[in-house]
Amino acid sequence: KNQVEQSPQSLIILEGKNCTLQCNYTVSPFSNLRWYKQDTGRGPVSLTIMTFSENTKSNGRYTATLDADTKQSSLHITASQLSDSASYICVVADSWGKLQFGAGTQVVVTP
């Protein structure tokens, strides 16, 4: 069973609207959680990295939250743009540096 579950699998949003992606994990012992953006056919690009002590982190219009107690994270996209259309991948690292990848959420922003 995958130790990192993402939801929804895909979503379509109108340009200018906000959306929130979810990531639940069971990885233990936890070290850090990353969100990556991957455009189709290209390499993932890091958006945020959060450790145990961090509850929220922003990168422009992207805001990630982490609740290490419930083992949940979310990625909020504000005022979406067409260029936000991509797959968003949640990755969780354990204390030995081993990474577990979520399957990703495919976001499509329409005009």
Distance of closest approach, residue 18 Cβ to another protein, in angstroms: 25
Distance of closest approach, residue 98 Cβ to another protein, in angstroms: 7
Count the helices and strands in the chain (H runs, E runs): 0, 11
Residue choice 11, 13, 68, 103 for contact with another protein (CB under 8 A): 103
Looking at the Cβ atoms of 41 and 60, the one nearer to another protein is: 41
Sign of CA dihedral 31, 75, 23, 53: positive
Looking at the Cβ atoms of 79 and 99, the one nearer to another protein is: 99
Is 65 within 8 Å of 78 (Cβ atoms)? Answer: no
Distance of closest approach, residue 93 Cβ to another protein, in angstroms: 7
Q: Is residue 75 classed exposed, middle or buried when 0-12, 13-18 and 19+ CB atoms within 10 A define those classes?
A: buried
In the window 63-102, what residues touch another protein (CB under 8 A)? 89, 93, 97-99, 101-102
C-alpha 62/C-alpha 97 separation (Å) is 25
Residues near another protein (CB under 8 A) are 32, 41-46, 49, 89, 93, 97-99, 101-104
